[in-house]
Amino acid sequence: MSVAIVDDDPIVCSSIGTILTATGTTTVLWTAHDGAAAVREYAAHTPDVLLIDVQMPGMDGLDAAERILDGHPDARILILTTFADPDYIRRAVQLHTKGYLIKQDVASVIPAVQAVMAGQVVLGAEVLGQIAADGGHDGGRDMQVVEDERFSRLTERERDVVALVAEGCDNRQIAAELHLSEGTVRNRISDILAKTNIANRTKLAVEWLSCH
């Protein structure tokens, strides 16, 4: 698969590129160092996945992502930044980017890119935690939260499971918290995804947090 990397620090672009190409399954199609260049390059040479930072000189990464998605709605864009800012995260989700990662562990980029290629949305636990902490507020203005009818069909125990998924808990942590086996948790999550017609647990978490 081909990737493009956009970061205002050339060393970051080089480091991420080295990590990705070391797998032998990824090639770096191009790199850029600001949003405007990213928009131009994407139009000329479309990668399978675009990794882009947020804060850059001139056009930032989210503005660039919006422009790219306007022209290429199927673009797989993964935000990779040092900023777990609720406003940035909210906008990235609203733009329907394919994920938001914090640059704490660059090794996580490889599984994230693979997940995006497989059609998944990738949000790290820290990002989900920020969404949860910011839930119910929008720039200081109270948001009107309406229960999604998909969740109204869930049992109380299923709702407990979803709430823990939205907090970024893995199956082991959910099992310990609710005194269930990990197998039961896996089955419950499968049932919940089927009932709500939501594709995966990350989208489940985002949808739950958006209305609670």
Q: Which has the minimum average pLDDT: 20-34, 74-88, 103-117, 148-162?
A: 103-117
* Same-domain pairing of 111 and 183: no
Domain count, the chain: 2
DSSP H helix total and E strand total for the chain: 11, 8
H/E/C letters for each residue in 104-122?
Answer: CCHHHHHHHHHHHHCCCCE
Q: Is residue 158 assigned to a domain?
A: yes
Q: Is residue 85 part of a domain?
A: yes
Q: What is the CATH number of the domain that holds 196?
A: 1.10.10.10
Instruction: State percent of the chain over pLDDT 90.
Output: 48
Portion of the chain with pLDDT greater than 70, in percent: 84
Residue 57 DSSP symbol = S
Is residue 163 located within the same domain as residue 95?
no
Residue 116 lies in a domain: yes
Are residue 102 and residue 203 in the same domain, yes or no? no
Residue 140 in any domain: the answer is no
Claim to verify: residue 27 and residue 129 sit in the same structural domain:
yes
* Each residue's pLDDT tens digit, 94-125: 898 988 888 876 667 888 888 888 887 787 66
Provide the residue range defining the domain that includes 181: 149-210
Shared domain for 94 and 68, answered yes or no, is: yes
- Structural contact between residues 33 and 10, judged by C-beta atoms closer than 8 angstroms: yes
- Indicate if 63 and 113 belong to the same structural domain: yes
What's the pLDDT at 103? 80
- pLDDT single digits (tens) 3-17: 999 999 999 999 999
Mean pLDDT, to the nearest integer, of 65-80? Answer: 95
- Quote the mean pLDDT of the chain: 84
Claim to verify: residue 54 and residue 158 sit in the same structural domain: no
123 and 154 fall within a common domain: no
pLDDT at 61: 96
Q: Is residue 47 part of a domain?
A: yes
- Whole-number pLDDT of residue 110: 85
pLDDT confidence of residue 197: 87
133: its two tokens:
């902490």
Closest CA to 165 of 186, 183, 139, 150: 186
CB 68 within 8 A of CB 60: no
Residue 30 belongs to a domain with what CATH number?
3.40.50.2300
pLDDT computed for residue 125 by the predictor: 63
If asked whether residues 108 and 157 sit together in one domain, one would say no
Mean local confidence (pLDDT), 31-41: 97
